[in-house]
Chain A
Amino acid sequence: MGLDQRVTSRGERPTSFELEDFGPVSGREEEWRFTPVDRLAGVFAAEFSGTAAVTLAGTGSLPDGVKFEQVPRSDPRLGQASGPSDRAAAAAWAGFGQATVLSVGRGISVESPIELEVRTQGDGVAASHLAVWLEENSAATVIVDYGGGGELAETVELYLGEGARLRLLAVGEWAAGAVHASSHRARLAKDASLVHSVAVFGGELVRITPDVTFAGPGGSAELLGLALTDSGEHHESRLFVDHAAPRCTSRVTYKGALQGAGAHSVWVGDVLIRAGAVGTDTYEQNRNLVLVRGARADSVPNLEIETGEILGAGHASATGRFDDEQVFYLCSRGIDLATARRLVVHAFFAELVGRLNQPEIEARLIATVDRRLDAATQSLLTPTQQPKETLGR
């Protein structure tokens, strides 16, 4: 018997570390209804013949008080955040052999970003588990870089002790055909603060489900997301912010630009304010910019409030279109199509990228956006596909 998935409140959705507790996935389930589930058959089957490695980028040297270790499944720091809430996350938990733990000791504050790389090796589905463990009053910035092809089921656990401060950026530019299902689960103790950001480029199917649980009062979480979705790509973000403790603050800002026919992006933002979470302040928003015809952005904010004694709770969702009239207007001022698209997309992402507060990462993200935009613009202009975007010929 599987878990009862027919629940209406996100708070009642069961979590389990047992794969068998999640039944087969048909694609009709709430959490899978937007996903091309056929492409995840390998992940759901949880038969892992591929391998994945998490490595430390650069020189590999770490400041005092910071440790990067490979640990067995029995390590007590694993599984401390919330549990898997869908079959892909349970498969990722079932599938890893050793886990990687990056830990920052009590009171240690690391200035420069620590960069990790996650890559799959060989054929077949791989599983990977990374835990970032911040002890009391420690602080760090961690970049997790994804790339390459392959199929990966992954967990990223973020454990923030009292007063800990973590900035995490997960950025990926996947190869064509890559399939990546990733469950990010963060647990914030009293007064901890998390900036969690995700930037997604490429791949065939990239589905990231960040869960954030406030386990103590006074915590704050900012969740940022950027995606540039091209032809034939499915980028899905499903967030869950669980306000289980009083006086916590959460802000969610996800922005997606879609630039190819058949591009599909999904954003689902669940925010739950439990009865005990008095003094909660939360706002979530999703913005999408559709650059071409034939792309689709699904956007679903869900806000559940079980107490009236909160500071604020709101959500917003909007999808705009960069249409032929805007293209014509800009081009009629001498601006070519590639520059026009850059102008509009930069403006769209500017405020979000600025909030990362990391100039180097900002420059890197904008460069990636430009490179992918320009590539797509070129394909719009090739004679094999003569759409209306070829203006005035």
Chain B
Amino acid sequence: MTVLEIRDLHVSVESDEGGTPILRGVDLTVRSGETHAIMGPNGSGKSTLAYSLAGHPKYRVTSGTATLDGEDLLTMPVDGRAKAGLFLAMQYPVEVPGVTVSNFLRTAKTAIDGEAPPLRQWIKDMRQAMSNLRMDPTFAERSVNEGFSGGEKKRHEILQMELLRPKIAILDETDSGLDVDALRVVAEGVNRAKQTTGLGVMLITHYTRVLQYIRPDQVHVFVGGRIVEQGGPELADRLEEEGYDRFVA
């Protein structure tokens, strides 16, 4: 059982004019097997939460804590957080020209596991994972995210998640820009990871549509850099009808 525990987290974004506070005291606990939907209007700080947990240098934690199984995440380097079991599926995955998907995945797998995966098993696993996500095998020889369509980028993020087998995954608007077929494929991947590895999921989204495919245990409404309301899946239905207006006042 893995626990991601976030307590009173305050984060500023660094700019030339100094720090601008974005997160204003976030409290959240995500355990193995649980799915937490983080929903909120644009600009509420959802992505800042995702990126500061993963360790993006643009964000500075000004107070509060985040631990993974009691270990202080915030003092770990970015790669250390991934090795500890955290995964961030990005909203805008970055292009890395020249580096093939296959080389990238094998390098990441080796880094996470601390040893190179046995080649034959690895190739088999990679092919299976790609086939599950309806990805063409030639995809493995393309440069990371270069020239990928929006849907390909998101599938590639979920492919990494399935192969790297993290304990907790943060999905930052993984549903955005996906048509319904792609959304279903991506959701299947998330549900598969939940079943096979007991993955805990922090599902950041603007829309309730994805929640039809990935059922949340809890829904958190995120406004102004903090969680302002939480409840069960029924809260998502209310948001669908009422929008975020009543929280934004």
Given the complex, which residues of A lie within 8 Å of B112, measured CB to CB? 333-334
> Is B29 an interface position by the 8 A CB rule?
no
Q: Are B79 and A328 in contact (CB under 8 A)?
A: no
Residues of A within 8 Å of B94, CB to CB, are: 325-326, 328-329
Q: How far is the CB of B48 from chain A (nearest CB, A)?
A: 14
Contact across chains for B78 and A328 when beta carbons are under 8 A apart: yes
- Is the pair B55, A335 in contact by a Cβ cutoff of 8 Å? no
Q: Are A391 and B55 within 8 A (Cβ)? A: yes
How far does the alpha carbon of A343 sit from the alpha carbon of B103 in the complex, in Å?
8
Q: Mark B147-168, 1 if CB is under 8 A from A, else 0.
A: 0000000000000100010000
Residues of B within 8 A of A332 (CB): 54-55, 78-79, 81-82, 87-88, 90
- Contact indicator B164/A329 (Cβ below 8 Å): no
Interface centre among A325, A332, A344 (most CB of B within 10 A): A332
The DSSP consensus for interface residues of chain A is helix
Min CB distance A253 to B, Å, is: 14
Interface presence of B96 (CB below 8 A): yes
Chain B residues positioned under 8 Å from A310 (CB to CB)? none
CA distance A344 to B97 in the complex (A): 8
Min distance, Cβ A288 to any Cβ of chain B, angstroms: 13
In the assembled complex, B83 has its CB within 8 A of some CB on chain A: yes
CB distance from B213 to the nearest CB of A (A): 25
- In the assembled complex, the CB of A52 is this many whole angstroms from the nearest CB of chain B, namely 38
- Does A348 belong to the interface (CB within 8 Å)? yes
Q: For A334, list chain B residues within 8 Å (CB).
A: 79, 82-83, 108, 111-112, 164
- Which of A325, A331, A334, A347 neighbours the largest number of chain B CB atoms within 10 Å of its CB? A334
- Is the CB of A336 closer than 8 A to any CB of chain B? yes
Residue of chain A at shortest CB distance from B74: A392
The reply to whether A335 and B57 form a contact with Cβ atoms under 8 Å apart is no
Q: What residues on A are CB-neighbors of B116 within 8 Å?
A: none
A329 to B89, CA, bound (A): 10
| A343 contacts B57, C-beta separation under 8 Å | no
Asked if A354 is an interface residue, CB under 8 A from chain B, the answer is no
Tally A residues with Cβ within 8 Å of B. Answer: 25
In the complex, whether B70 has a CB less than 8 A from a CB of chain A is no
Contact of B77 among A325, A343, A392 (CB under 8 A): A392
CB neighbours of A312 from chain B (8 A):
none
Assuming the contacts A331-B78, A331-B82, A393-B75, asked whether A336 and B96 have C-beta atoms less than 8 A apart, the reply is: no
Once bound together, how far apart are the Cα atoms of A348 and B103, in whole Å? Answer: 13
A4 at interface, CB cutoff 8 A: no
Is A6 part of the binding interface, using a Cβ–Cβ cutoff of 8 Å? no
Q: Which residues of A contact B99 (CB under 8 A)?
A: 343-344, 347
Task: Tell me the residues in window 47-75 of chain A with beta carbons closer than 8 Å to chain B beta carbons.
Answer: none
| Residue A313 CB within 8 A of the other chain | no
Q: Once the chains bind, are A324 and B164 in contact (CB under 8 Å)?
A: no
Q: Is the CB of A329 within 8 A of B90?
A: yes
CA distance A339 to B109 in the complex (A): 13
CB-nearest residue of chain A relative to B113? Answer: A334
- Is A24 interfacial (CB 8 A cutoff)? no
- The answer, yes or no, to whether A388 is at the interface (CB within 8 Å) is yes
Of the listed residues A331, A343, A350, the one surrounded by the most CB atoms of chain B closer than 10 A to its CB is A331
Q: A320-B97, A333-B160 are in contact. Are A393 and B111 (CB under 8 A)?
A: no
How far, in whole Å, are A390 and B79 apart by their CA atoms in the complex? Answer: 11
Rounded to whole angstroms, the CA-CA distance of A333 and B83 in the bound complex is 8
Q: Which of B54, B100, B111, B164 contacts A339 (CB 8 A)?
A: B111
Question: Could you tell me the distance between the alpha carbons of A328 and B87 in the complex, rounded to whole angstroms?
Answer: 12
A346 to B81, CA, bound (A): 25
Nearest CB of A to B5, in Å:
18
Distance in angstroms from B7 CB to nearest chain A CB is 19
Residue from B57, B77, B93, B107 in contact with A329 in the complex, judged by beta carbons closer than 8 Å: B93
25 residue pairs of the A-B complex, CB under 8 angstroms, read A328-B54, A328-B78, A329-B94, A331-B77, A331-B79, A332-B78, A334-B79, A334-B83, A334-B111, A334-B112, A334-B164, A335-B108, A336-B111, A343-B99, A350-B98, A388-B57, A391-B56, A391-B57, A391-B77, A391-B78, A392-B55, A392-B56, A392-B76, A392-B80, A393-B77
* The 7 residue pairs across chains A and B that have the minimum distance between CB atoms: A392-B55, A347-B98, A334-B82, A331-B78, A333-B108, A329-B94, A334-B111
Chain A residues within 8 Å of B, Cβ to Cβ: 320, 324-326, 328-337, 339, 343-344, 347-348, 350, 388, 390-393
